[in-house]
Amino acid sequence: MKTQLTQEGLKQLEEELNQLVQTKRPVTVERLGKARAMGDLSENSEYTAAKEELAFVEGRIKEIEEILKNAEVVLNHKNGVEVSLGAKITVEANNEKDMFTVVGEFEADPIAKKLSSTSPIGKALLGKKVNDVVEVVVPSGKIVYKVLSIE
């Protein structure tokens, strides 16, 4: 199954992978070597911490490589006519305006207003046009969104 990403999301993952492989992994391996040289490994908390950090780095590298191997860059071809992956949309809910970018599942970042296309809100908004109204069931109840603009 393909992993849908925006061009920006693909670039960010490639940069993170490069940083992990070129910088983070070598530093962590060096830290592990120094900790190992300190002696008794059974009571060496620095060794244990370095070993755990290296395992985390290696796991993240494998995860990103797997995502990139199956990545499909999706361009926003709807040109502001319809909500699609990569679209920046302005919506109104509860008399408040909000702006989101609809992104792939692995790019989602609610704090940065990047909404996954597989989230309940993202799914509900996909395919909608300006002035469309959609009701979304969320854990706190129902929210009614009106699409104000699409870029």
Q: For the chain, which residues make up each domain, given as ranges? A: 3-73, 88-150
Please report how many Cα atoms fall inside a 13 Å half-sphere around the Cα of residue 63, on the Cβ side: 10
**pTM of the model as a whole:** 0.72
What kind of fold does domain 3-73 have according to CATH?
Helix Hairpins (1.10.287)
Question: What would the mean pLDDT of 51-72 be, rounded to a whole number?
Answer: 94
Q: Give the model's confidence band at 20: pLDDT under 50 very low, under 70 low, under 90 confident, else very high.
A: very high
Comparing 39 with 14, which gets the higher pLDDT?
14
Residue 78 pLDDT class (50, 70, 90 cuts): low
For residue 40, give the amino acid letter: D
- Tell me: domain 88-150, CATH 3.40.50.1000, correct? no
Cβ 84 vs Cβ 76: under 8 Å: yes
Region 106-129 average pLDDT: 90
Q: Which of 119, 107, 116, 112 minimizes the C-alpha distance to 10?
A: 107
Residue 45 confidence (pLDDT) above 70: yes
Using alpha carbons, select from 125, 118, 150 the residue that is nearest to residue 3. 118
Question: E strands, the chain, where?
Answer: 3-5, 71-73, 88-93, 96-103, 114-116, 133-138, 141-150
Average pLDDT over residues 9-13: 91
Q: What is the pLDDT of residues 80-92, one digit of tens each?
A: 788 988 889 999 9
pLDDT at 72 over 90: no
Q: Which of 71, 58, 60, 90 is nearest to 9 (CA)?
A: 71
Task: Give the percent of the chain with pLDDT over 70.
Answer: 96
